[in-house]
Structure 1
Amino acid sequence: MIKQRGQVVVDKILDTAERLFFEQGYNITGINQVIEEADIAKASLYKHFGSKTDLLVAYLQRIHERWFDKLEADVDKVADPKEKLLTLFDYHRERQLQNGFGGCRFIKANDEAGMSDERVLAEIQKAKQHLRDYISMLVVNSGHQKLLTDKELTELIFMMLDGGIVAASVFKQADDLQSAKSIIQKLI
């Protein structure tokens, strides 16, 4: 399938914004830098994104979709319902290794812009809730030992994943995600 020119420009802008927002942060990244590094005209950026915040919202929507599609694909490869829960930790660990322990893109965006625009916060909350709901579905289908309720186990896994990502970012290693996986393994 051949992309239309407008979509090619949008992809160039979003690819550049994705890299810069992750590496530098949203606040440090200027629109002019995005324009220059995407090698597009200023009018092209503003044709597709009315403001820097609009670009951030589109970036969050895009990374949410891509990130979650990859997560689901990894989990879907696993047959055992309990192992599916553990695969969540493997996926998060691999992502941290691939991204040089850069942390969570949603947490970073929340820290920088989550309070300044409701749309930004809503996209971040949507992504995090989507993960929580997905974990809940996996927990319900897991046949776990019932040492915790489904809701408790869901919340524990959700918090351990986010906490493990933060620890990986701070300590530049994935040991905490591996420890979290071992703890959950004992509970399921």
Structure 2
Amino acid sequence: MDQDTAEAMARPSARDRLLDAADELFSRDGIARTSVDQVLHHAHVAPGTLYAHFGGKDGLIAAALHRRLDRWEQVWQEAVDAAATPAEKLLALFDAVSAYRDRYTPGRGCAFLATSIELPDLDHPARAVIEAEFTLLLTRLNQLAETVTTEDPAALAGNVLLVYDGAMAGLQRGRTPDPLGHGKALARCLIQNAIETE
């Protein structure tokens, strides 16, 4: 195998390059400020490739967000699996954000929250992915909270979710020092309080 063939085989597919470019540019600059031409230039692909794979910018947004959701779900599950106690498994949400940012993108805030703000149209294809991410958060947090307390685990899960949303907003703003650390500490207090009131 010659060097050109080896380099071509090691290079991500055009579809993956488009998703990588979209993820990076949407996260850094926002969806509205990122043009299709910028994504194409960043991914080094022709316009026809984007339209063949995604049908247009809206399809690309949804696909990039869906890939992010798949990755996020995996990273979060890894953090849960690595935690030793039920309380730590519930707190793993905050560790997972740091792990995700280290592994994939150091972008500010939450792509799902940012996208929901930028795309208020409920018929946009990305809205289904945003709803799937919220369902994942709520379902998993409820399941984990049930292993921590029998005294209203849904309330505990809801409170942890609210703290998480605040931490993600702090990341988005970019001015709050260590919002994930503070969020995790506050969530730990909520968990401890739930355990003590049983």
Provide the TM-score with structure 1 as the length reference.
0.85
Higher RCO by CA contacts (8 Å cutoff, separation 6 or greater) = 1
Is there any run of 5+ residues in structure 1 with no aligned partner, and where?
none
Whole-angstrom distance in 2 between the partners of 1:93 and 1:13: 24
Contact 1:110 / 1:124 at 8 angstroms: preserved in 2? yes
* 4+ aligned runs moved over 4 Å, structure 1: 93-101
Aligned to 1:20: 25
Is there any run of 5+ residues in structure 2 with no aligned partner, and where?
1-8
Percent identical across equivalent pairs?
27
Compare CA radii of gyration and give the structure with the larger one: 2
Whole-angstrom distance in 1 between the partners of 2:126 and 2:41: 24
| Matching of residue 173 in structure 1 with residue 177 in structure 2 | yes
| CA RMSD of superposed structures (Å) | 2.5
What are the Cα deviations for residues 5-50 of structure 1, in whole angstroms up to 9, with x where unaligned? xx81110000000000000000000001111110011111111011
What are the Cα deviations for residues 146-179 of structure 1, in whole angstroms up to 9, with x where unaligned? 3xx1111111111111111112332342243244
1:141 is displaced (CA, Å) by: 2.0
Aligned to 1:123: 129
1:22-171 alignment, distance < 5 Å: 22-93=27-98, 95=100, 102-115=108-121, 117-142=123-148, 144=149, 146=151, 149-170=152-173, 171=175
Provide the TM-score with structure 2 as the length reference.
0.82
- Secondary structure at the aligned position of 1:27 is classed as coil
Matched letter for residue 22 of structure 1: S
Higher mean alpha-carbon deviation, 21-30 vs 95-104, is at 95-104
**Number of residue pairs the alignment of both structures matches:** 182
